[in-house]
Structure 1
């Protein structure tokens, strides 16, 4: 298997290929998943100035890790550099960075006082968008002093107050898992990631997308993730017949399904059944508005 150095965490890992992207699997940017960097963007990133790399590569690594840890698909090009630099998702203050660490442990535990083992702590400062390990350790110690976090070696526990703080930062309640079948087109997937998935999260759901291991079939992965979800959002521009298999599987498990379909000109993706009535959208902003209205008006 071909290997390549991840520019953002400097680890050499196996890569796959998909639609012009190199998929980096298991690096420090995405220890339990993968992310894609367009092959034409590798060299432009690598020749950036030392100052830009020093400032931005830890941020990009953190951005990748947070999104993939939340189940989102990440596909980057050199054009994303400025967007990430100015993204409201990137925390700036120590307090906000500490909240991101609490949210990470919240995602990986079922309640307060449940231990979460953090592997490779020296390489995990991207969990807090920190430029180095020293800042991560400072944040951990600060959270301990505030009695929000307990640590014993590589094992961490949210205290009751830490759990409450994490929940409040997420809108006062734990996000419900929601599996999202995205369109196959790379540009459209990026629009979903930037414009639509954050709105789904604001409505109380944790959007998860198709990120599987190299040995796992797409359909098998999707069905496994759907079984653990409270809602399925499926766009008819997704993976051919598999999108209908996923929808039928979800309905068979009494998991609600929201169908969407993009209109391009006068054409929309055809529905094979009268029972599938998708919300038709033209722009990502329009779709985000439609989903926000639907998700906030009904309880799934």
Structure 2
């Protein structure tokens, strides 16, 4: 695979040309994903003045980073320059960028004092839409001065005050309705203890329903923003409900015990399926999936 410099983060990375688009993989803009840039746009972006590129490229890099973290496919063209840079979703003040970093840390952990690694810092300052590493470090130090985070090198921890502050801010955002669909009685206590707190952390208010009452289930699903469906038992009803949700544009997360991973290969390909064996596996995978889904769900509601 060929390599090329990403204009927005200045890193040399793998790229390929497909359908008149250059696809950049693994740069600082999309470290665990990729983004595409129309072929003709590269020269247009590269021809911008030094002052304009210094202003615009960090914003575009932050836009790509935060979009790909949410699981979105990002296609950039030169015509998008003004739209991205002038978007109301782009943080402008230092305080807005502080909250963006706080929210990122909050969603990476289960509680205060839990270590979160961001390394190297020089490749992650776009998390807060910072224009450079110096501004990112300045934001970090402000959060330390407020006693909201602790830092040791590239290891970060939310303090209790930082955790409470972030939770309070997120609580001001009206929680989105979510349905948890269950069947297997023996697993219900695990779900009732584990899943609602996670959903609350990511901005959802959960309601439990059972597949035994399918009419009620479908009515509640039609009013929700997210369906979490346990497909460990009664799979025909569960898959029907999940398919119904997908058909009307509801986000779906399905879960299946690892021992049943071969049972539903076709039905679950597009259901954000989590295969799990231990409770810890389910918790970790749910957290990762919710982190990717929750911003896009809230953005859709805002529209």
TM range (shorter): 0.5 to 0.7
Report the alpha carbon displacement of residue 167 of structure 1 after superposing the two structures with TM. 3.1
2:75 maps to 1:88: no
Q: Which residue of 2 aligns with 1:170?
A: 170
Distance 1:7 1:169 in 2: 34
- Within 5 Å, give how 1:92-241 maps onto structure 2: 92-172=92-172, 204=203, 231=227
**Counterpart position of 1:3:** 3
- Give the aligned partner of residue 252 of structure 1: 239
- SS of equivalent residue, structure 2 residue 247: strand
Larger radius of gyration: 2
* 1:25 to 2:25 alignment: yes
Name the one with the larger helix percent: 2
Matches of 2:227 and 2:143, distance apart in 1: 33
1:6-30 superposed Cα distances (whole Å, 9 cap, x missing partner): 0001111112344332221110111
1: CA distance, partners of 2:54 / 2:237: 45
Number of equivalent positions: 203
Tell me if the contact between 1:144 and 1:150 (Cα under 8 Å) persists in the aligned partners: yes
Give the secondary-structure state (helix, strand or coil) at the position aligned to 2:90: coil
Q: 1-side partners of 2:239 and 2:2: how far apart?
A: 40
C-alpha RMSD of matched pairs (Å) = 3.3
For residues 68-83 of structure 1, what are the structure 2 equivalents within 5 Å?
Answer: 68-83=68-83
Deviations 1:198-253 (A, max 9, x none): xxxxx946xxxxxxxxxxxxxxxxxxxxxxx9538xxxxxxxxxxxxxxx999439
In the TM superposition, residue 78 of structure 1 has moved relative to its aligned partner by 0.6
Per-residue deviation, residues 101-157 of structure 1 (Å, max 9, x unmatched): 111112222222211110111232212212121111111111011111111111101
User: Quick one: distance in 2 between partners of 1:20 and 1:153?
Assistant: 42
Q: Deviations over 1:244-284 (max 9, x none)?
A: xxxx99943975723248xxxxxxxxxxxxxxxxxxxxxxx
Q: Which moved more, 1:128-137 or 1:2-11?
A: 128-137
**Which blocks of at least 5 consecutive residues in structure 2 are unaligned?**
179-201, 205-224, 229-234, 250-296
Task: Check 1:135–1:19 CA distance in 2 against 1; reply closer, same or farther (3 A cut).
Answer: same
Paired residue for 2:54? 54
Q: Deviations over 1:43-92 (max 9, x none)?
A: 11111111110111111111111111122221111111001111111111
Q: Which moved further from structure 2: 90-99 or 108-117?
A: 108-117
Distance 1:146 1:251, change over 3 A: same
Q: When the two structures are superposed, what TM-score results if normalisation uses the length of structure 1?
A: 0.59
- Runs of 4 or more above 6 Å deviation: 173-176
Q: Paired residue for 2:273?
A: none
Cα distance in structure 1, aligned partners of 2:92 and 2:84: 13
Three-state SS of the structure 2 residue aligned to 1:13 is strand
Q: TM-score, normalised by structure 2?
A: 0.59
